[in-house]
Structure 1
Amino acid sequence: MECPHLSSSVCIAPDSAKFPNGSPSSWCCSVCRSNKSPWVCLTCSSVHCGRYVNGHAKKHYEDAQIPLTNHKKSEKQEKAQHTVCMDCSSYSTYCYRCDDFVVNDTKLGLVQKVREHLQNLENSAFTADRHRKRKLLENSSLNSKLLKVNGSTTAICATGLRNLGNTCFMNAILQSLSNIEQFCCYFKELPAVELRNGKTAGRRTYHTRSQGDNNVSLVEEFRKTLCALWQGSQTAFSPESLFYVVWKIMPNFRGYQQQDAHEFMRYLLDHLHLELQGGFNGISRSSILQENSTLSASNKCCINGASTVVTAIFGGILQNEVNCLICGTESRKFDPFLDLSLDIPSQFRNKRSKNQENGPVCSLRDCLRSFTDLEELDETELYMCHKCKKKQKSTKKFWIQKLPKVLCLHLKRFHWTAYLRNKVDTYVEFPLRGLDMKCYLLEPENSGPENCLYDLAAVVVHHGSGTPKQWIQIH
């Protein structure tokens, strides 16, 4: 949100000598000396712990609101409210009076300057204690970045994402997409687009409204995030810059409320696709596609125009067949897709666990079969028959005309009953390897067996009731 209190609350100089020494992320609370979740007041530069530790940052704000006994208080005392503070780890800004995170800046850009100063302190603060901690983590078997599988050594990504306030829906999708090797490698190999002036080149960028929106690029921020996730850092990465760009181009996701992970993934892929189609910040779409020769023309599925890496990897084609039950006229339509949304068959709706009795366990194949089975449309979905010249009863069937390289399947876990949104808690089994999609193809004889088998890359799971609660990603 845009905070109206910045001008009266951000009073410290960006390079203030009042800042403590050492790494900002390890600064200690001035009250309890805890170095967990340190926040710096942007009025007086004092450091206190966050509300999930001992809450001294909030108490610092509350103490400043107590009316002064001296009636002749200065104008500076009146204005200084100690309402705005900054997270010393993620550099997010929070206003206690607004009770929300802040995305705007002062007219002089003081918030951004403080961020850059803290970043400089963080980059230069390689103290002996911090160095020892990192060495211990690197040598720890639990935090090792190498996993031995079948006698061979394979590098894995161990970098986490900070939660910026109910952003686990976004983090789960980002971690899942980063696990798609070809998709991730494509973006990592893109040339960096310089969105900063020479003075801040090489530093991490934090977008604020004072910087303007002319240079906002979802592709660039997405590229930076994927690169950060694959650097193998022992500290979590804060995707604040990407989140700000998401706010700008996807208004549905503004704010720090929980959102639907599947909806976010669709918006993200759609906007990446559109931005790559038109080229971004001077890089043409054709030059981008040429960088990855493995994405052959046969693997490209066009959605809304020319193909991009999004449609080349996630794009498939459905054939929708509708038959009029009165005259027998058949209508066929081809629809491109980036994922398939599958209903959980009604006969399995009450089976919430694998071990629960009352019938067989629902499998992913049951959901796919329900999606592709012949279906008679009800009275509310009558088909407009061009031969009969009116709406008639009809049947509908889906075939998969082309399978994508990476198949995204979405289980519809929510449904509406009597104006209420309820969650379907049915347990669904799925294979970790070898999901065979050949039987759902329109022309299975034209597809080799190896092109129809899928191994699991990632799972995004929703925890909670019908109201979105929390999303987690599982490799």
Structure 2
Amino acid sequence: YIPIEKGTLLAKLLNIEQPETKPVVSAAPLKSGLMARGLHNLGNSCWMNSSLQLLSRLPLLPDEVNGSKAPLAQAFKYLSTDLKNSGHAIKPGQFVSALLARLPFLSVTEQQDAYEFFTLFFDSLRDEMGGNAKDLSGNDIENVKKIDTTTIDKSVSFILDSEMRCETCNSVTHIYQRTTAISLCVPYGASTTLGEVLDSYFSESSSGDDWKCDTCGNTTRCAIIPHIATTPQFLILHLARFRFGNNGFIKNNIKVELPLEISHNLKTKVSFKERITPFSLFISQKTSIFRIKLSSIAQINIEYHQILIFHYTHHVDTFFENELMQHNIL
């Protein structure tokens, strides 16, 4: 980690010339319609800006954060407060300083992957707040549940259940894994819907021929069916649009419709009551229906400019408030 010297261009971009203070909250009312606000782009930091602007809308941290024990969490809380209440774009200098102190291998002036940053940032926050930063998996769901100890876990963490059925003896085993998002592979074609992409993810698939059954001891194939074993307050979905081809990364530009309500069979094992959140989940155990009612949709888009040059933008559609916000200022 190389300290950023004051007086340099990067220092001015990061706004670290000023003393570290809590953000000043603007008292001006926010305007409806298309608003250009969010975070200034520090060279190629759109991947970070878009992720932070999405995460700042979620209740990830408690009301009080100990800055001496959790400096990154405190910096993010200050940044979130400023983003929610300021009617103009801000410079994330203080946050970037805390981020680089925690993750010195990151460079805000170079292109990075937004989803990879999202994962690293979540693990760092959980570690500061007393949680385990590593993925926990096993065949005992009660042991996996013990990891859910932070406010972050209560908001976005959930447990995926991979049900594996042996094709030789039909025995069933389960592997439970705590995660904070579902990465969905976007299919090629003219268009699709979020419900169809989710259906594909939760459909039955088959393993290779080298899977060993713990019950019969044979090396065979197994059918794999994923389930949601526990539900989060906010469900974060990642649409994986890039694949590596002969000439580098190839983006799938298929349009994915995001309807206000999605109903399809996910065979979930829990009953879930309505919650007043941007992503309200409705699960019926009897009919095995998974329904998402969206009062707002937050998404990160990737704008393709030329080969290997991309730009992330963050859009929030709040339907009940008739508001469209476009974040991430160039």
TM-score, normalised relative to structure 1:
0.53
List runs of 5+ in structure 1 lacking aligned partners: 11-41, 43-83, 93-114, 124-133, 139-143, 149-155, 196-214, 280-300, 352-360
In the alignment, is the contact (CA less than 8 A) between 1:350 and 1:426 conserved in 2?
Answer: yes
Q: How many residues align structurally?
A: 287
Alignment of 1:116-155 (within 5 A): 116=18, 145-147=30-32
Q: Give SS of 2:119's match.
A: helix
Q: 1:420: which partner in 2?
A: 248
Contact 2:42–2:108 (8 Å) recurs in 1 = no
The 2-side partners of 1:364 and 1:320 are apart by 21
1:268 to partner: Cα distance: 1.1
**How far off its partner does 1:147 sit?**
4.0
Aligned partner of 1:340 in structure 2 is 182
> What does 1:9-48 align with in structure 2 at a 5 Å threshold?
42=7
Q: Return the offset for 1:473.
A: 0.3
Report what 1:174 is aligned to: 52
Partner residue in 2 for 1:130: none
1:247 offset after TM fit, Å?
Answer: 2.3
C-alpha deviation, 1:253, in angstroms: 2.1
Among all aligned residue pairs of Structure 1 and Structure 2, give the percentage whose two residues are the same amino acid: 20
**In structure 1, what residue type is equivalent to 2:256?**
V
**From 8, 15, 18, the counterpart of 1:91:** 15
Q: 1:462: which partner in 2?
A: 302
The match for 1:274 is 127
Pair 1:86–1:470, CA change in 2 (3 A)? closer
Matched, 1:376 2:197: no
Distance in 2 of aligned mates of 1:2 and 1:449: 48
Specify the code of the residue in structure 2 equivalent to 1:443.
K
Instruction: Letter of the 2:71 partner, please give it.
Output: S
Question: Which of 1 and 2 has higher RCO (CA within 8 Å, sep 6+)?
Answer: 2
Change (3 A) 1:318 1:216: closer
Query: Residue 471 of structure 1 aligns to which amino acid in structure 2?
Result: Y
Contact 1:322 1:397 in 2 (8 A): yes
Partner of 2:193: 363
Match for 1:241 among 79, 83, 94?
A: 94
Aligned partner of residue 85 in structure 2, secondary structure: coil
Judging changes above 3 Å, is the alpha-carbon distance between structure 1 residues 469 and 386 closer, same or farther for their aligned structure 2 residues?
same
- 1:275 and 1:334 map into 2 onto residues whose CA distance is 24
Q: CA deviation at 1:232?
A: 2.0
Q: What does the per-residue CA deviation read over 1:33-66, in whole Å, with 9 as the maximum and x for residues that have no partner?
A: xxxxxxxxx5xxxxxxxxxxxxxxxxxxxxxxxx
Structure 2 CA distance for aligned equivalents of residues 157 and 312 of structure 1: 31
Contact 2:164–2:223 (8 Å) recurs in 1:
yes
Deviation at 1:226, TM superposition (A): 1.1
Deviation per CA, 1:221-274: give whole Å up to 9, x if none. 11111122133254x221122223222322452351111111111111121111
| Separation (CA, whole Å) in 2 of partners of 1:147 and 1:157 | 7
Q: Classify the secondary structure of the residue corresponding to 2:90.
A: coil
The change in CA–CA distance for 1:231 and 1:448 in structure 2 (over 3 A counts) is: closer
- Provide the rounded CA distance (Å) in 2 between the counterparts of 1:218 and 1:314: 19
Q: Which amino acid aligns with 1:458?
A: A
Pair 1:447 & 2:272 matched? yes
Distance in 2, Cα, partners of 1:224 & 1:386: 50
Cα offset for 1:441? 3.9
Counterpart residue number, 2:85: 231
Structure 1 residue 435: Cα displacement: 3.4
Gapped regions of structure 2 (runs ≥ 5): 133-142, 276-280, 283-291, 317-330
Structure 2 partner of 1:309: 151
Cα gap change, 1:168 to 1:424, in 2 (>3 Å): same
Cα RMSD, aligned residues only: 3.5
C-alpha distance in 1, partners of 2:12/2:163?
57
Q: Distance in 2 between matches of 1:275 and 1:191?
A: 10
CA distance change for structure 1 residues 259 and 372 in 2, over 3 Å: closer, same or farther? same
Q: Which has the larger Rg?
A: 1
More strand by share: 2
Give the superposition deviation at 1:160: 2.2
TM-score between the two structures when normalised by the length of structure 2: 0.74
User: Which has a greater percent of helix?
Assistant: 1
Alpha-carbon distance change, 308 to 449 in structure 1, aligned in 2, over 3 angstroms: closer
Query: Map of 1:106-125 to 2, 5 A cutoff?
Result: 115-116=17-18
1:387 maps to a residue whose letter is T
- 1:396 aligned to which of 207, 224, 227: 224
